[in-house]
């Protein structure tokens, strides 16, 4: 009892701080109370890093915006076009940060992205340098936040990187606890700077899940926080990340989300089954859906995955109840989440490298708290299905059965 009461208080305080954090400073009255929650559902969009890495240019971002509209991804909900690392140049004598030659005019770029009905994101970090060695925000947090607001930036990914070596390890070499306090303070500083800048800017913490950010990030205005190290475009990396999400469901909710990192759907040598599973599990996990693929050359089958409205609706369900890992049976993992209107989603993932039929897997509805046949929809075939107690389920290697049950019993 005591624990649940404490959690409730923490959740209420977090929710009120999170909604306050995105409120323009001058309207903290009745209008502020009615202001929409920033990132009320997990942010959706596209980020430059997984495909372009350090090569990204202004033109690539404009093309991405064009493609998000042309492919129907915007209509499916992908709204943020996020520039990752390598847009930065140096500061001038007033400390104002300038863009490098790849990004000649950030305000004009923001205007272009906004003209498409989309939003623009940017990247920095609390250290002197970003991960790619470009100028970051140390001791210029307020100035940078104001600069982003003046350009019309809508989203900031704030990446720890050099801060851990040059600040945390350098200033408190043998004191891990002090290092963590420094890290939290650095994120708090930028959270306050963004709030003071007076523009709703989604605040994305990127510090690889160190020191349980799900416990402290919402209170300092964080809308999402990475839970692990960097994702890579291979199944091992994706499955490893999935396994690190168990237990985090209670920390997600409108305005504040666990972030298992950006999507690799369509990248590397992922099979179609792996792409489907990656997208299915990110949707179950109420994860931000930030595509990172080569949009102009997107294959139809990849577009079909990224724009599957039924799967996106699971991710974007307004309750924001992240899935929990319910049980595993050998190489098969079963996750479930509750949805608005009393509905439920179930994901059955075959993590094995051979077909399940040679290691029979039988679904336990009882373990999911269900009794008797359950009518649902298979969200990848679009067909009606009935799940029965103990039914055998055959799945190809690394594929996922994703079912929405409208009225679970």
Query: Is residue 85 at the binding interface for ligand GLA, with CB under 6 A as the rule?
Result: yes
Encoding tokens for residue 333? Answer: 């993992």
Q: Contact letters (x/-) for ligand GLA, 286-305, by CB under 6 A?
A: --------------------
Encoding tokens for residue 253? Answer: 């909710």
Helices 141-151 & 106-115, crossing angle to 10 degrees? 50
**Which class for 12: exposed (0-12), middle (13-18), buried (19 or more C-beta within 10 A)?**
exposed
Q: Which stretch binds ligand GLA (CB under 6 A): 125-133, 175-183, 306-314, 368-376?
A: 125-133
Contact in structure between 180 and 148 (CB atoms under 8 Å): no
Residue 169 CB, shortest distance to ligand GLA, in Å, is 17
With CB under 6 A as the contact rule, the residue among 17, 61, 68, 131 that binds ligand GLA is 131
Encoding tokens for residue 100? Answer: 């490098």
Rounded-to-integer distance, Cα 379 and Cα 280, Å: 9
With CB under 6 A as the contact rule, the residue among 132, 304, 319, 393 that binds ligand GLA is 132
Query: Is residue 264 at the binding interface for ligand GLA, with CB under 6 A as the rule?
Result: no
Rounded-to-integer distance, Cα 43 and Cα 262, Å: 11
Site for ligand GLA, residues 16 to 75, rule: CB under 6 A: 49
With CB under 6 A as the contact rule, the residue among 159, 259, 315, 399 that binds ligand GLA is 159
Residues in the interface with ligand GLA (CB under 6 A) total 9
**Which class for 218: exposed (0-12), middle (13-18), buried (19 or more C-beta within 10 A)?**
buried
> Is there a catalytic annotation at residue 259?
no
Q: Contact letters (x/-) for ligand GLA, 187-216, by CB under 6 A?
A: -------------------x----------
Residue nearest to ligand GLA (CB): 131
Q: Which residue, 230 or 378, is less far from ligand GLA as judged by CB?
A: 230
Residue 208 CB, shortest distance to ligand GLA, in Å, is 7
Catalytic residue among 84, 159, 259, 396: 159
Task: For 370-388, give one letter per residue: b (16+ CB within 10 A) or e.
Answer: beeebebbebbeeeebebe
Q: Which residue, 79 or 156, is less far from ligand GLA as judged by CB?
A: 156
> Is there a catalytic annotation at residue 230?
yes
Residue 84 CB, shortest distance to ligand GLA, in Å, is 5
Phi, psi of 224 (to 5 degrees): -160, 155
Residues 6+ apart with CB under 8 A from 236: none
| Residue in the structure block whose two tokens are 């999170």 | 18
Residue 262 CB, shortest distance to ligand GLA, in Å, is 7
Rounded-to-integer distance, Cα 200 and Cα 194, Å: 8
| Residues identified as active-site | 159, 230
Interface contacts to ligand GLA, rule CB under 6 A: 49, 84-85, 130-132, 159, 206, 230
């Amino acid at each position: 009892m005591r624990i649940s009461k404490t959690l409730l208080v923490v959740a209420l305080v977090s929710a009120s701080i999170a909604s306050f954090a995105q409120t323009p400073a001058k309207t903290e009255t009745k209008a502020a109370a009615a202001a929409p929650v920033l990132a009320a559902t997990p942010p959706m969009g596209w980020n430059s890093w997984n495909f372009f890495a350090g090569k990204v240019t202004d033109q690539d971002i404009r093309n991405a915006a064009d493609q998000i509209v042309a492919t129907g991804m915007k209509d499916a909900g992908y709204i943020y076009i996020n520039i990752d690392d390598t847009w930065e140049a140096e500061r001038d004598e007033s400390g104002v940060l300038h863009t490098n030659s790849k990004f000649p005019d950030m305000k004009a770029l923001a205007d272009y992205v906004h003209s498409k009905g989309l939003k623009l994101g940017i990247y920095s970090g609390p250290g002197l340098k970003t991960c790619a060695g470009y100028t970051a925000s140390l001791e210029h947090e307020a100035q940078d936040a104001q600069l982003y607001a003046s350009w019309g930036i809508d989203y900031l990914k704030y990446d720890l990187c050099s801060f851990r070596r040059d600040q945390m390890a350098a200033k408190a070499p043998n004191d891990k606890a002090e290092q963590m306090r420094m890290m939290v303070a650095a994120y708090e500083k930028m959270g306050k700077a963004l709030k003071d800048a007076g523009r709703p800017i989604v605040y994305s913490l990127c510090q690889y899940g160190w020191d349980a950010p799900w416990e402290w990030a919402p209170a300092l205005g964080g809308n999402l926080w990475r839970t692990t190290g960097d994702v890579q475009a291979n199944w091992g990396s994706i499955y490893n990340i999935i396994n690190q999400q168990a237990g985090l469901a209670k920390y997600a909710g409108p305005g504040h989300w666990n972030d298992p990192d950006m999507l690799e759907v369509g990248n590397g040598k992922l099979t179609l089954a792996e792409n489907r599973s990656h997208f299915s599990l990110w949707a179950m996990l109420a994860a931000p859906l930030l595509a990172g693929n080569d949009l102009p050359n997107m294959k139809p089958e990849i577009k079909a995955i990224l724009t599957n409205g039924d799967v996106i609706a699971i991710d974007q369900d307004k309750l924001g109840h992240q899935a929990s890992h319910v049980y595993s049976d050998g190489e098969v993992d079963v996750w479930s989440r509750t949805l608005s209107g009393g509905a439920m989603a179930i994901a059955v993932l075959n993590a094995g490298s051979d077909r399940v039929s040679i290691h029979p897997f039988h679904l336990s509805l009882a373990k999911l708290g269900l009794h008797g046949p359950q009518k649902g929809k298979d969200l990848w075939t679009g067909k009606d299905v009935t799940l029965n107690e103990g039914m055998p389920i055959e799945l190809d290697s690394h594929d996922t059965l994703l079912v929405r049950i409208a009225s679970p019993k």
